[in-house]
Structure formats: structure tokens, C-alpha cells
């Protein structure tokens, strides 16, 4: 057998294998004898089928099988011996490969294309400067979060006179045309109403300035569909048919009072931190917000450095070969999504080459603890993104365990931990130009990037109340 390699470029080559008859003839004969010994054919005992008949029936298939085995083994051995770092598997060269004659076998010649991984040198200088966009929490954001925490731990206090924002408790009864209670009509005991949830000012004003024991009339149509369906459990179409006037007898008036900015609140929300003043409380909130913002900044930095390093370190790449290889290996994929988005796949292949080099050079190994830490980080962000700014440690641990219970969790959190290690390495290796930006500026910068932001939307800010803070 003669094996030769023609280098097409630094990242592609063509391998030719010339297989002479003497290279496969004896193996074919041995295989025929072995198959003949085992085959069962009607009219013959095992092993007694005449060789001539057996060759006529199975000779070409056995020849093809043995030649294929020899070529495959020889090709793999050659690649290993030559220490060729290839992508995927060798592909037949469609231009050079001629049709093989298995009817009258003689010498065979095979041609294969290979894609080679380019050599990566992780060499950087002072000119390798990347921007790092550090998001600065603004005072308005901290004010909003602080305000909503105070609301979350606020209480309703009994008062004597109703206001527009008061919470009113009372009995609601449907009246007849004479203004008397209809005994067969709708009746709601100790119902809850807020003056400002009515949809017209005239009705709202009727509920302002009332005292316990007062009564006021209203129409259901002056309430929103959400209140009708949620508070009174009435279908919207059912409520729309009600023409009657209703009476509301006021039993209790309550106004909301925000929580005090005191050590009791500080200690409950940030247990063990020893916060004494409102300023320290705001500083702790700012620290948590900054931590989440830094996660987003890291992801932006990671996306930017991937593009930068691919452009800097990879000048030649077997893109056309990989495209062919992907098309062959995904031939059953009717959508062929990778073909539609080949540019993204091509960039991904290039980045994975660089990433693997970083891992190899720095002996990066991800442990189970690294994966668990990544799951914990996601659990913490999950709570904060859903309004719980400082979740209890046991809650975070339970959520982390839940995340890790998913069958695909190991791969996901291994990837996340690896990403963190690479970010840390490149922060230490490259020159970083830190640019302070607002959240709105950052949102403009990441348009089109796959980055999920935790912007601590004020309407969702909560904490985890316990029995002592209800």
C-alpha cells in the first residue's frame, strides 16, 4: 500500500491511498472461508456450500467489506502516526475519486480530504486592549429598590377617616328599585374595596371622607373587570348584566404605612451583616445590585473577547471542509439550520479551538464544586430577578439542588464554570480598559447579544417575609 499526502493549504490536505491486490487478496479469502463456515443455506449443511457458489453470491460484498476495513484502518493509523490534528473525519475527494470496479478487482486508489486544526499561539502584548463595560447602579434604582422593600414590610393601620388610597372593609348588598336591600340579590359580607380602583371620579369621591358606620351607594359597572372577576368571583358578562345599585356599609378603614428604616428591618433582611444606619442599608443594596450587574458585564466581556481573539489568532481555517462535513453528518436534518446560520457555526468552531487551547495551557479542570457554585450563582440570580433581593441561604441551596437535579445540569454548569475560569484568565492576561456605563447605555451595547439582564424591576422587588414580619 502506498499512502501520500498533498498539502493544499496550512489547514487542508488530500490523502491518497493506493491499495494493491496483494494488500487485500488474502484477507478476502480468509473472510470468505470464515463466512462460508457459518452461513446457513437451504440444501447445504453449514460449511459445505461450494466455494464457487458462495463467491458468486457473496464475493463482491465480502470484497467491499474487507477493502473498506483495510482503507479505514490504514487511514486512521496514518493520521495517528503523522500526528495530524484533524476536524471531524476524512471526506472522500469527489473530484479525484474514480469509480471502483469490484466486478474485476485489481488495484484500488482512494482520495480523502482532511481539515486540519490551525496552530494557536496565545501570545499577547500591551496593544491587546479590550473594553470592559462596568454598569454603575444609579441612585434612582437604589431608591426604587429601597422603597419597595419598605412597602413589602409595611403594615395597614386602622384610621378614622377614609382617603383615596385607603383600604375599606364593609358589607355590600344589592338594592331594589326602592332603595331597599334585595334579599334575593347579590350580597358580599366583609368585602374589600379601594376608592382609587373605581373608574370615575364621582364614585371615587363618594368613598373619601367616610367614617365607620357610614354607607355609600355605587354601581358594579364602575369597577374594573379584574376587580369584578378576582375580588367578587363574578364573570365579566354576568356583572355586565347587573343594573342594580349596591350599598356599601363601611366597617373598617385602614391606611398603609411603610416600614421604618430601623435596625429591626436591617437585621431581618440582611441577617448577620450588622447594618446600623440607612446609609449602610443602601450601600448593601448597592453591593448586591453591583454583583448582578457585574455578571452581565462579564458576559458582555466574554462575547467581545471571543470575537476579538478569533479575529486576532485565527488567520486560516478549514471552513469549507467543515461545512461539507456538517452537511454530510446532518443529512437527515431536513431544516439544515446550520447551513442557514453557517457564519455563526464557523465562528463557534474557531472560538472552541481557542478555548480548548486556553484550557490546555492553563490546566483548567472543572470540579463538582465548581459546577455546584455555578448552580448556586444561577439560583441567587433567579431569586433576585424575581424580586427577592436577599434570599435565605436555605432557599438558595434548595433551588440550586433543584437546578442540579436536571439531567442536562452537569453539562450546563460545567460550561458555566469553565466560562468563569476563562473570563478570570483573560482578565489577568489582557489589558482591560474599564468603561463606566449606565444600565440604559449597557442595554444599547448588548443589542443582539444573548444576555439576560437582572435590572431589579421595582414592581417585582420583594423579600422573603417570615412570621415576624407580616
Phi, psi of 90 (to 5 degrees): -60, 145
Q: Is 340 helix (H, G, I), strand (E, B) or coil?
A: helix
- pLDDT reported for residue 462: 39
Which residue, 56, 62, 50, is CA-closest to 24? 62
Q: Biggest alpha carbon distance in the chain?
A: 115
Q: Residue 390: is its pLDDT beyond 50? A: yes
Q: Which residues contact 223 (CB under 8 A, 6 or more apart)?
A: 197, 198, 199
Kindly state the DSSP code that residue 175 receives in the 8-state scheme: B
Q: What percent of the chain has pLDDT over 70?
A: 92
| Helix (H) / strand (E) containing 241 | none
Phi, psi of 15 (to 5 degrees): -110, 130
- pLDDT reported for residue 338: 67
Query: Quick check: 135 and 293 in contact, CB under 8 A?
Result: yes
List alpha helices for 386-408, DSSP H: 393-404
CA distance readout (Å), 132 to 39, 288, 351? 70, 19, 19
Q: Lowest-pLDDT range, 89-98, 126-135, 337-346?
A: 337-346
What pTM does this model have? Answer: 0.75
| Helix (H) / strand (E) containing 169 | strand 167-174
Query: Quick check: 202 and 289 in contact, CB under 8 A?
Result: no
- Give the mean pLDDT of 144-154: 89
Q: Residue 144: is its pLDDT beyond 50? A: yes
- pLDDT reported for residue 469: 35
Q: How far apart are the first and last CA of the chain?
A: 85
- pLDDT reported for residue 58: 72
Q: pLDDT averaged over the chain?
A: 87
pLDDT digits (tens, 9 = 90+) for 435-458: 999 999 999 999 877 777 766 644
- pLDDT reported for residue 454: 66
Band the pLDDT of 352: cuts 50, 70, 90. Answer: very high
- pLDDT reported for residue 90: 95
pLDDT digits (tens, 9 = 90+) for 230-283: 888 888 788 778 888 999 999 999 999 999 999 999 998 898 899 999 999 999
Q: Which residues contact 374 (CB under 8 A, 6 or more apart)?
A: 413, 416, 417, 420
Phi, psi of 23 (to 5 degrees): -75, -25
- Give the mean pLDDT of 342-351: 90
- pLDDT reported for residue 460: 38
Grid coordinates representing 437 are 456605563
- pLDDT reported for residue 284: 94
- Give the mean pLDDT of 67-83: 93
- Give the mean pLDDT of 88-101: 88
Grid coordinates representing 404 are 442540579
Which residue, 48, 1, 42, is CA-closest to 20? 1
Q: Give burial (CB, 10 Å; 0-12/13-18/19+) of 463.
A: buried
- pLDDT reported for residue 464: 41
Query: Quick check: 141 and 439 in contact, CB under 8 A?
Result: yes
pLDDT digits (tens, 9 = 90+) for 2-60: 999 999 999 999 999 999 988 888 888 888 787 777 776 776 766 666 777 767 777 78
> Where do the domains of the chain lie, and which CATH numbers do they carry?
2-116 (3.30.70.1050), 129-145+265-460 (no CATH), 155-257 (3.10.50.40)
pLDDT digits (tens, 9 = 90+) for 307-335: 999 999 998 999 999 999 988 887 666 55
CA distance 212 to 409: 58
- pLDDT reported for residue 66: 87
- The dihedral built from the CA positions of residue 44, 50, 51 and 53, taken in this order, carries a sign that is negative
- pLDDT reported for residue 466: 42
- Which has more confidence, 45 or 183? 183
Band the pLDDT of 470: cuts 50, 70, 90. Answer: very low
Kindly state the DSSP code that residue 133 receives in the 8-state scheme: E
Amino acid at each position: 500500500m502506498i499512502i501520500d499526502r498533498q498539502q493544499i493549504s496550512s489547514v487542508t490536505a488530500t490523502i491518497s491511498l493506493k491499495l494493491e491486490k496483494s494488500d487485500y487478496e488474502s484477507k478476502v479469502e480468509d473472510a470468505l472461508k470464515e463466512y462460508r463456515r457459518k452461513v446457513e443455506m437451504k440444501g447445504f449443511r453449514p460449511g459445505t456450500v461450494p466455494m464457487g457458489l458462495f463467491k458468486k453470491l457473496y464475493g463482491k460484498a465480502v470484497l467491499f467489506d474487507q477493502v473498506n476495513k483495510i482503507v479505514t484502518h490504514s487511514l486512521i493509523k496514518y493520521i495517528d502516526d503523522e500526528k495530524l490534528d484533524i476536524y471531524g473525519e476524512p471526506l472522500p475527494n469527489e473530484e479525484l475519486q474514480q469509480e471502483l470496479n469490484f466486478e474485476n478487482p485489481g488495484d484500488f486508489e482512494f482520495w480523502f480530504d482532511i481539515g486540519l486544526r490551525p496552530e494557536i499561539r496565545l501570545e499577547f502584548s500591551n496593544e491587546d486592549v479590550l473594553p470592559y463595560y462596568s454598569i454603575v447602579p444609579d441612585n434612582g434604582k437604589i431608591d426604587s429598590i429601597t422603597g419597595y422593600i419598605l412597602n413589602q414590610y409595611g403594615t395597614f393601620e386602622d384610621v378614622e377617616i377614609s382617603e383615596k388610597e385607603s383600604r375599606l372593609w364593609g358589607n355590600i348588598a344589592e338594592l331594589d328599585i326602592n332603595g331597599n336591600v334585595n334579599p334575593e340579590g347579590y350580597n358580599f359580607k366583609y368585602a374589600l374595596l379601594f376608592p382609587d380602583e373605581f373608574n370615575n371620579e364621582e364614585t371615587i369621591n363618594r368613598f373619601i371622607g367616610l367614617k365607620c358606620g357610614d354607607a355609600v351607594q355605587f354601581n358594579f359597572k364602575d369597577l374594573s373587570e379584574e376587580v369584578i372577576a378576582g375580588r367578587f368571583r363574578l364573570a365579566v358578562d354576568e356583572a355586565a348584566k347587573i343594573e342594580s345599585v349596591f350599598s356599601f356599609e363601611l366597617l373598617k378603614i385602614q391606611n398603609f404605612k411603610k416600614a421604618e428604616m430601623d435596625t429591626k428591618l436591617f437585621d431581618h433582611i440582611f441577617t448577620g451583616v450588622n447594618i446600623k444606619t440607612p446609609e449602610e442599608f443602601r450601600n448593601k443594596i448597592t453591593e448586591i445590585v453591583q454583583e448582578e450587574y457585574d455578571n452581565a458585564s462579564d458576559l458582555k466581556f466574554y462575547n467581545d473577547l471571543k470575537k476579538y481573539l478569533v479575529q486576532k489568532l485565527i488567520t486560516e481555517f478549514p471552513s469549507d471542509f467543515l461545512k461539507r462535513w456538517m452537511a454530510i453528518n446532518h443529512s437527515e436534518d431536513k431544516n439544515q439550520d446550520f447551513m442557514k446560520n453557517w457564519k455563526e457555526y464557523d465562528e463557534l468552531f474557531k472560538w472552541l479551538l481557542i478555548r480548548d487551547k486556553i484550557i490546555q495551557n492553563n490546566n483548567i479542570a472543572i470540579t463538582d464544586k465548581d459546577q455546584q457554585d455555578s448552580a448556586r450563582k444561577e439560583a441567587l440570580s433567579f431569586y433576585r430577578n424575581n424580586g427577592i433581593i436577599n434570599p435565605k441561604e436555605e432557599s438558595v441551596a434548595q433551588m440550586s439542588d433543584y437546578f442540579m437535579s436536571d439531567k442536562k445540569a452537569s453539562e450546563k454548569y460545567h460550561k458555566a464554570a469553565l466560562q468563569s475560569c476563562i473570563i478570570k484568565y483573560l482578565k489577568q492576561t489582557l489589558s482591560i480598559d474599564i468603561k463606566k456605563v449606565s444600565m440604559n447605555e449597557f442595554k444599547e451595547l448588548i443589542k443582539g447579544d444573548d444576555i439576560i439582564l437582572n435590572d431589579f424591576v421595582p414592581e417585582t422587588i420583594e423579600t422573603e417575609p417570615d412570621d415576624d414580619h407580616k
